[in-house]
Structure 1
């Protein structure tokens, strides 16, 4: 949902609140990010939560003493976490524009359309970068986005995660900007130890189709977002003519795991009773499920548990939000 749900048209949750998401406010036209905001409410269909009992225990946990407290510190941290083109396969390059306006993020309105708005008080800083694989031969233009958002507290980050899931439940089709939309969206929440999520505190996955009057479609679309302490990272991809899902997955499979590992290095401390992680391990082995993996997981998941999953995700944050 974060096309920021990393997003397409304007340039969060989400498989798109800030990464490939677009906006409808006449923005700068970049492959936008959709930022997740607002408290979760209601329930419905369209999102699923894995039924497996979380079993993985953290090796690294966020250290509150190392977390940014100012916008300047958060901006500096984002610069250390967010990928550049070198993190992707050779065919991926920076898009134009390369970055979205860091003073605004995308918000999903009640009519399921995205709009750019100023950052809320609970966000210290955010940045979205846009990438592409140029069209050529039998293949069309692939659009990719990555977003890093630093909240004031880990509870605020948890609320973004919960809000993204609720958005997916209520809006299975979303307007990014005129002529750009996402359709047939299905979301999945994975706590640590569920599915293949062994590193992130919790991960959100969203799959569906992206449709554009300019680029055509429908083409495969997915978005993934993960949290570590006050940091929320996300990536999204909108496919194109001539690409298989496996080919699209290989374009972005390292981005989210690498961002999470960088966040652990900058903000983490060994969890009590645990040793430091093996630096030689491949990040993609333990962080971000591929679309095919998420599809098989969601096939066995119960959609009726989605509301309770969102509630449990945000339970620890309720006190601070109610007092805000």
Structure 2
């Protein structure tokens, strides 16, 4: 399942369903699978350090462009209440495996989580979803957040989101670019398990995925309802995270630099050849 959100689409918070608070592209285009005969990993745009936000105001403005809205999920998904998290806080998992809201640490420029729902219909229960975008001051700090999430999942396979709501049987699956069908993200972490609520019932299937891109960390989650299996839930949430990634690449991505021994792009002349021709 680690690559499901990343390879078949367009390219959580303590007060929500997705823990640390994570549309199809405007034309509905689908990212083409790379040709295995050429390379097992596609040459995607690298995050350009010079184009990433440096101040909280810049980060908040960029998050507003990147974060998923209701139309980035399946048809029928709408805003939940509350819709957006407090931008001045984020969720922290304590050693007792309970999520709490705390002020942003120094390494975080800005973060925002949005909450969504697919209302009950045709004998099925309510589905709850979330999307989050966070900007750190550096890419290294974003990578550290990803590493901490892996450690937290291993330490707390059961977590309390808030009173009356919890996650159980959590299993983390990390994957670097090129691993476990992850062909589009620098670093991907997926958790699957079950969600249980005093209000909504359960246990229901639950999945959450988080990726990094430069100093950005983005995630999306889905908590099922009565009558949904995991494959049906994945179809509901599948577009949200890849769409946020594609938006990020368009905002602050750059073409990857050619590596030693790689053929020069068409129409270019190597420096040595140019010098010989002088």
Report the TM range for the smaller structure's normalisation.
Answer: 0.7 to 0.9
Aligned twin of 2:199: 214
1:22 aligns with 2:17: no
**Structure 1 residue 89 displacement after superposition:** 1.6
What whole-Å deviation, never above 9, does each CA across 1:17-54 have from its counterpart, x for those lacking one?
xx3x435xxxxxx5464269xxxxxxxxxxxxxxxxx9
Task: Trace 1:190-269 onto structure 2 (pairs within 5 A).
Answer: 190-269=175-254
Alpha-carbon distance, 1:114 to partner: 0.5
Q: CA RMSD in A?
A: 1.9
Post-superposition shift, 1:58? 4.0
2:258 is matched with which residue? 273
- 1:41 matched to which residue of 2? none
Q: Does 1:159 align with 2:151?
A: no
Q: Secondary structure at the match of 1:135?
A: coil
Question: How do 1:81-160 and structure 2 match up within 5 A?
Answer: 81-160=66-145
Aligned positions of 1:53-64 closer than 5 A = 56=41, 58-64=43-49
CA–CA separation in structure 2 for the residues paired with 1:144 and 1:98? 11
Residue 18 of structure 2 contacts residue 208 of structure 2 at CA under 8 Å; is this kept in 1?
no
Give ranges in structure 2 of 5+ residues lacking alignment.
1-11, 23-38, 260-278
Give the aligned partner of residue 34 of structure 1.
20
Aligned partners of 2:79, 2:144: CA distance in 1, in Å? 31
Q: Output the CA distance in 2 between the equivalents of 1:136 and 1:250.
A: 16
SS at 2:202 equivalent? strand
SS in 2 for 1:78: helix
- Structure 2 residue 180 is matched with structure 1 residue 188: no
SS at match of 1:197: coil
User: Offset at 1:178?
Assistant: 1.1
Q: Check the 8 A contact 1:179/1:213 in 2, yes or no.
A: yes
CA shift for structure 1 position 154: 0.3
SS in structure 2 at match of 1:112: coil
Contact 2:222 2:233 in 1 (8 A): yes
Structure 2 counterpart SS, 1:56 = coil
How far off its partner does 1:272 sit? 0.9
When normalised by structure 1's length, the TM-score is 0.69
Distance in 1 between residues matched to 2:14 and 2:101, nearest whole Å: 9
Unmatched runs of 5 consecutive residues or more in structure 1: 1-18, 24-29, 37-53, 275-324
Partner of 2:33: none
1:284-310, Cα deviation, whole Å (9 max, x unpaired): xxxxxxxxxxxxxxxxxxxxxxxxxxx
User: In 2, distance between residues paired with 1:59 and 1:177?
Assistant: 38
Aligned residue pairs total 233
**Distance across 1 between alignment mates of 2:205 and 2:17:** 16
Question: SS of the counterpart of 2:96?
Answer: coil
After TM superposition, where is structure 1 displaced by more than 2 Å over at least 4 residues in a row? 30-33, 54-59
Q: Is the 8 A contact 2:21 2:114 kept in 1?
A: no
Query: Is the 1:22–1:180 Cα contact (8 Å) retained in structure 2?
Result: no
TM-score of the two chains, using structure 2 as the length reference: 0.80
Contact 1:106 / 1:115 at 8 angstroms: preserved in 2? yes
Report the Cα distance in structure 2 between the residues aligned to 1:256 and 1:90, rounded to whole angstroms.
Answer: 16
Q: 1:75 aligns with which of 60, 78, 82?
A: 60
Counterpart-to-counterpart distance in 1, 2:253 and 2:18: 29
